[in-house]
Amino acid sequence: MTSQQLLTRVEKTAREVFGHDHLLGGQADATTALLSGHDVLLVSPTGSGKSLVYQAAGVLTDGCTLVVSPLLALQQDQVDSIRSAPGGLTACRLSSAESEAEKREVLERATAGEVDFLFCSPEQLANDEVRAAVAAAGIGLVAVDEAHCVSAWGHDFRPDYFRLGELLAELADEQGTPPRVVAMTATAAPPVQDDIVARLGMREPRTVLTGFARDNIALDVVRVVEEADQRTAVLELVAATPGAGIVYCRTRPAAEEYAAALADAGRRTAVYHAGLSHRRREETHEAFMADEVEVVVATSAFGMGIDKPDIRFVVHAQVPESPDTYYQEVGRAGRDGEPASATLVYRPEDLALGKFFSGGVPRKKDVHAVLRAAGEVGTDPKDVAGAAGFGPRKTGRILNLLVLVHETRPEANRPDDAVAAVVDIAESHRRLERSRVDMMRGYAETDRCRSAYLQGYFGEQAEHRCGRCDNCRAGIAEDPADEQDVAYPVQSEVRHEEFGPGVVTDVEDDRVTVLFESVGYRTLSLDVVEEHELLQLA
């Protein structure tokens, strides 16, 4: 079948089964690549319709489509969307919210061929019995949502995602052929993209990038010094902006305080964070979707998968820990394509929050304990946790670090060497996380186009200023550097005499930003680099 014939089938499916009159470029490219026999990594902004890719491809692929997703609310939104589509499809969920009897019924229906789309979390798939039943259902396509969680170098790495590649390999058919895979994320710099492909064992992979610019969102930064000024700025911003919005805070107490203040100011407001009961969080989600609540004040626990198209503003009351998180949260505004605003209220002292929350380094004695336990009981995380006397999350993280040591440092085969390598990798990861905090400082304090700054962070060279951000409106932002005139092109591999190998993510007239394997992001003066010959193209 030719590419055009495939595209025609995809367009017909999108229209007749899901009610979409047309496809966006990334949707068409990713879906036809899947149907042509390729695994696909789709990197596309929040709200760009990534779900339609696996939905259309799933309908046109034999067997059940398995969707691996990290959050119950995200899963339920997608289940409801598929069930309400014109095509009369069947979608079910396996999660902690269902009883054992309900989960058995779902698996029996899937095995009988009565389920078109099956949703589950990585934790559910890690269960041997569940995975065997899912394999028996005949999985033709796997969609991994929020795929940046797979990468140990991503901004939101989740240990439960780390084993996904080996778990998916166990879903192979009788001929030993694993299902086709589409991995989807809104936030992945080039090295993270490579890591996702490798960790999931993607075959004949195609990477589809749709660009990181969001043309309808005006990016602004309000700089303050005192905490009282910060509070006043947030309240005034929300008061002055009509429509639905989200206010993000770094801590639960801050979210509670701002929610109360906004409610006192007359906005229909609710609070959302992980410290609230599951029922209350669900009620807030439903009220926001139904326009019963105008403003949700939340920690980063809120928003992933929230498909509300008419969010008119996002305000960050405190600086987030990374441009990755900021971009993802900002992307929840203006999904209907209409103008929206995203404002960061920036107080430099808040950067310390990001460094405080950055990942810890395991103690050597704990790594030794996990290593000994694994030698006694095998590598099943539950068994190791029991033998080592640690919780499953701590044990899982150390086991994952040991896997990374095995993959990247095979010479560390003695226990002491392996433990030292685990600590070294964990320290590198912490440096990377802290470098992301520094990149948020750069975003907040830059005088260049803010959209171009974010695009550069993700390894995409902007051709022009956005014209909408506060710096562009003030006339202080210059046009981005012409990449043809730079010594270190974006995405080129380089080596620094001290920092080692890295990848160029952003280029300006007088500086270059590199993501180094050992120390994370570093922005270097080109004059200093050239004077001391600090960078060599690999």
Token pair recorded at residue 474 = 């003030």
Residue 156 has pLDDT above 90, yes or no: no
Q: How far is CA 119 from CA 90, 95, 163, 285, in A?
A: 11, 8, 17, 20
Q: Look at residue 132 and tell me if it is in a domain.
A: yes
Distance from the Cα of residue 82 to its chain's centroid: 22
Token pair recorded at residue 65 = 């489509």
What is the end-to-end Cα distance of the chain in Å, rounded?
41
Identify whether residues 382 and 278 lie together within a single domain: no
Identify whether residues 170 and 49 lie together within a single domain: yes
Residue 483 has pLDDT above 60, yes or no: no
Residue 1 has pLDDT above 90, yes or no: no
Q: How far is CA 425 from CA 321, 360, 396, 429, 434, in A?
A: 20, 11, 15, 6, 14
In 3D space, the residue among 214, 226, 164, 128 whose CA is nearest the CA of residue 39 turns out to be: 164
**Is residue 322 within 8 Å of 354, Cβ to Cβ?**
yes
SS (H, E, C) 409-468: CCCCCCHHHHHHHHHHHHHHHHHHHHHHHHHHHHHHHCCCCHHHHHHHHCCCCCCCCCCC
User: Is residue 536 left, alpha or beta, with left meaning phi > 0 and alpha meaning psi from -120 to 50?
Assistant: beta
Q: Look at residue 280 and tell me if it is in a domain.
A: yes
Q: Look at residue 268 and tell me if it is in a domain.
A: yes
Identify whether residues 368 and 511 lie together within a single domain: no
Identify whether residues 194 and 225 lie together within a single domain: no
Task: Measure the CA–CA gap between 262 and 258, rounded to whole angstroms.
Answer: 6
Of 337, 356, 375, the residue at which a domain comes to its end is: 356
Q: Look at residue 475 and tell me if it is in a domain.
A: no
* CATH code of 105's domain: 3.40.50.300
Identify whether residues 347 and 386 lie together within a single domain: no
* Exposed e or buried b per residue across 502-525, where buried means at least 16 C-beta atoms within 10 angstroms of its C-beta: bbbbbbbeebbbbbbeebbbbebe
Task: Measure the CA–CA gap between 225 and 223, rounded to whole angstroms.
Answer: 7
Identify whether residues 41 and 81 lie together within a single domain: yes
- In the block, residue with structure tokens 């005139």: 485
pLDDT at 343: 98
**Phi then psi dihedrals of residue 388, to 5 deg:** -85, -20
Average pLDDT over residues 23-48: 88
Residue 355 neighbours by CB under 8 Å, 6+ apart: 434, 437
Q: Look at residue 48 and tell me if it is in a domain.
A: yes
Task: Measure the CA–CA gap between 333 and 312, rounded to whole angstroms.
Answer: 6
pLDDT at 470: 97
Instruction: Write out the residue range of the structural domain in which residue 532 sits.
Output: 481-538
User: Is residue 495 left, alpha or beta, with left meaning phi > 0 and alpha meaning psi from -120 to 50?
Assistant: beta
**502-518 confidence digits (pLDDT tens):** 888 888 888 899 988 88
Identify whether residues 295 and 203 lie together within a single domain: no
For 474, how many CA atoms within 13 A lie in the half-sphere containing its CB? 13
**Phi then psi dihedrals of residue 194, to 5 deg:** -60, -40
Percent of all residues in the chain with a pLDDT value above 70, rounded to a whole number? 96
Task: Measure the CA–CA gap between 89 and 82, rounded to whole angstroms.
Answer: 7
Of 209, 234, 265, the residue at which a domain comes to its end is: 209
pLDDT, greater one: 116 or 458:
116
Residue 254 has pLDDT above 90, yes or no: yes
Identify whether residues 292 and 204 lie together within a single domain: no
Q: How many residues does the chain have?
A: 538
Token pair recorded at residue 393 = 């999350």
Of 139, 174, 209, the residue at which a domain comes to its end is: 209
Task: Measure the CA–CA gap between 221 and 215, rounded to whole angstroms.
Answer: 17
Q: How far is CA 222 from CA 228, 258, 322, 404, 475, in A?
A: 14, 17, 18, 41, 17
DSSP-based three-state secondary structure for 62: coil
**343-363 confidence digits (pLDDT tens):** 999 999 988 876 666 567 899
The band of 77, judged by pLDDT with boundaries at 50, 70 and 90, is: confident
Q: Look at residue 446 and tell me if it is in a domain.
A: no
pLDDT at 133: 92
Average pLDDT over residues 54-61: 94
Identify whether residues 253 and 204 lie together within a single domain: no
pLDDT at 154: 67
Identify whether residues 320 and 392 lie together within a single domain: no
**376-391 confidence digits (pLDDT tens):** 998 888 899 999 999 8
pLDDT at 536: 92
- The dihedral over CA atoms of 30, 34, 38, 41, expressed in degrees to the nearest 10, equals 40
The band of 393, judged by pLDDT with boundaries at 50, 70 and 90, is: confident
In 3D space, the residue among 55, 104, 97 whose CA is nearest the CA of residue 78 turns out to be: 55
Q: Look at residue 130 and tell me if it is in a domain.
A: yes
Identify whether residues 226 and 188 lie together within a single domain: no
Token pair recorded at residue 314 = 């996002």
* CATH code of 491's domain: 2.40.10
Q: Look at residue 463 and tell me if it is in a domain.
A: no
> Are β-strands 493-496 and 535-537 bridged in parallel, bridged antiparallel, or unpaired?
antiparallel
Task: Measure the CA–CA gap between 339 and 345, rounded to whole angstroms.
Answer: 20
The band of 95, judged by pLDDT with boundaries at 50, 70 and 90, is: confident
Average pLDDT over residues 234-258: 95
Q: How many domains does the chain divide into?
A: 4
Task: Measure the CA–CA gap between 93 and 79, rounded to whole angstroms.
Answer: 7
pLDDT at 359: 61
Beta bridge partners of 328: none
Q: What is the pTM of this model?
A: 0.83
Averaged pLDDT of the chain: 89
Identify whether residues 69 and 154 lie together within a single domain: yes
